[in-house]
């Protein structure tokens, strides 16, 4: 178990997308976030109190979350120095970077000497099975995207919370480091060996018999040359009954690939439906989620209205506008009895 409350690390970051783990925790779990740690050249803030390590520890924080993502997910020298200072001040350290905390000799030695814990959120469970594609009982929704970092986690969390508000049993199934820290459980899908990706999703979303929904956090994009593999495995393992497409309307190229343009919404809808039909021929698209955080409110609402009219699907910015229209479509499509397994 990772000790809470958290102190959220921003370091020297000036890339808004690069701090999405820290920001996701501040937005969805403010109850366990005491403050933020950032250097003077950091131009970003989460709106939390800025604290040094001693002040944050005195305020009750127990784990420093390195909630940033740099190229390659590496622990650079500055991050290591900050983590060492935090451990000296009494903190455990948690991170979801590709480079593991426990593999950094300085951090491992300090943790052993000081009695601190190093939590590598991207370490998958050792008992993940190979996927088998067998039909499972229950209802599942998966978020998919035109690109990486377009709001799949935010959309999934908003849908899960809104379903619960309506009295519908719903569970958020985390597949990335931020989601795992928010939910307290899940699978770090981009750290799973390729042959086991679909099995990992089958494992965290097993048979369900209560009429509720598993809301599965999407990853990557079928159209991203770097990450299409994890997206495909997710589509097959999730066996989704419903998909919601997430899109950033201001994105001019695929994240990290200036030589690749994002796909169109129509072609992305069809490609995801086609891939999802392998394990659930009855899958349907129930909505479009736009990330309009960089747009003025009137412009954002107008774009969502145009998008809904163009594609015949409810469209909103889930965090900014809510998801009522998408849920209306989802629950109207859920009139059939809960799907049963072959053995049920």
- pLDDT by residue, tens only, the chain of 344 residues: 899 999 999 999 888 888 989 999 999 999 999 999 999 999 999 999 999 999 999 999 999 999 987 665 678 889 999 999 999 999 999 998 888 999 999 999 999 999 999 999 988 888 999 999 999 999 999 999 999 999 999 999 999 999 999 999 999 999 998 999 998 889 999 899 999 999 999 999 999 999 999 999 999 999 999 999 999 999 999 999 999 999 999 999 999 899 999 999 999 999 999 999 999 999 999 999 999 999 999 999 999 999 999 999 999 999 999 999 999 999 996 644 333 333 32
Range(s) of the domain holding residue 298: 139-332
On whether the CB atoms of residues 179 and 187 are closer than 8 A, the answer is no
Question: Which H or E run includes 343?
Answer: none
Whether residue 306 is preceded by a cis peptide bond, meaning omega within 30 degrees of 0, is: no
Same domain, 58 and 192: no
Same domain, 11 and 93: yes
279 Cβ neighbours under 8 A, 6+ residues apart: 133, 235, 236, 237, 238, 239
Gap between the Cα atoms of 202 and 209, Å rounded:
15
Domain at 26, CATH number? 3.40.50.720
Q: What is the pLDDT of residues 100-128, one digit of tens each?
A: 999 999 999 999 999 999 999 988 888 99
Same domain, 71 and 152: no
* Phi-psi region at 155: left, alpha or beta (left = phi > 0; alpha = psi -120 to 50): alpha
Only one residue has tokens 């494992």, namely 203
Same domain, 86 and 150: no
Whether 64 maps to a domain, the answer reads yes
Strands, E assignment, the chain: 6-11, 33-38, 63-66, 92-95, 118-120, 139-145, 170-173, 213-216, 242-247, 284-290, 315-316
Whether 311 maps to a domain, the answer reads yes
* DSSP letter string, 49-103: PB--HHHHHHTT--EEEE----TTS---HHHHHHHHHHHHTT-EEEE--SS-GGG
Whole-prediction pTM: 0.87
Whether 128 maps to a domain, the answer reads no
Where does a domain end: 66, 90, 120? 120
């Amino acid at each position: 178990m990772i000790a809470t409350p958290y102190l959220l690390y921003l370091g020297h970051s000036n890339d808004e997308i690069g701090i999405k783990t820290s920001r996701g925790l501040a937005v969805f779990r403010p109850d366990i976030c005491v403050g933020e740690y950032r250097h003077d050249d950091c131009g970003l803030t989460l709106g939390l109190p800025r604290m040094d390590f001693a002040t944050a520890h005195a305020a009750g924080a127990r784990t420093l979350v390195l909630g940033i993502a740099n190229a390659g997910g590496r622990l650079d020298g500055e991050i290591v120095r900050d983590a060492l200072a935090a451990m000296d001040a009494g903190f455990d350290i948690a991170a979801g970077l590709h480079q593991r905390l426990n593999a950094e000799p300085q951090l491992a030695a300090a943790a052993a000497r000081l009695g601190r814990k190093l939590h590598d959120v991207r370490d998958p469970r050792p008992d993940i099975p190979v996927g088998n594609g067998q039909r499972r009982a229950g209802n599942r929704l998966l978020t998919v995207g035109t690109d990486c970092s377009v709001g799949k986690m935010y959309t999934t969390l908003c849908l899960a919370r809104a379903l619960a508000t309506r009295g519908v049993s719903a569970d958020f199934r985390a597949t990335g480091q931020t989601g795992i820290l928010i939910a307290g459980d899940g699978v770090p899908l981009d750290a799973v060996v390729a042959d086991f990706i679909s099995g990992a999703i089958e494992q965290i979303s097993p048979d369900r018999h209560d009429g509720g929904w598993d809301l599965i956090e999407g990853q990557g994009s079928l159209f991203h040359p770097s990450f299409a593999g994890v997206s495909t495995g997710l589509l097959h393992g999730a066996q989704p009954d419903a998909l919601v497409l997430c899109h950033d309307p201001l994105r001019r190229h695929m994240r990290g690939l200036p030589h690749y343009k994002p796909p169109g919404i129509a072609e992305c809808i069809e490609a995801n439906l086609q891939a999802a039909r392998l394990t659930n021929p009855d899958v349907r698209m129930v909505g479009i989620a736009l990330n309009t955080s960089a747009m003025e409110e009137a412009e954002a609402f107008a774009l969502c209205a145009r998008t809904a009219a163009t594609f015949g699907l409810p469209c909103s910015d889930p965090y900014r506008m809510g998801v009522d229209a998408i849920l209306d479509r989802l629950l109207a499509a859920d009139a059939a009895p809960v799907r049963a397994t072959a053995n049920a």
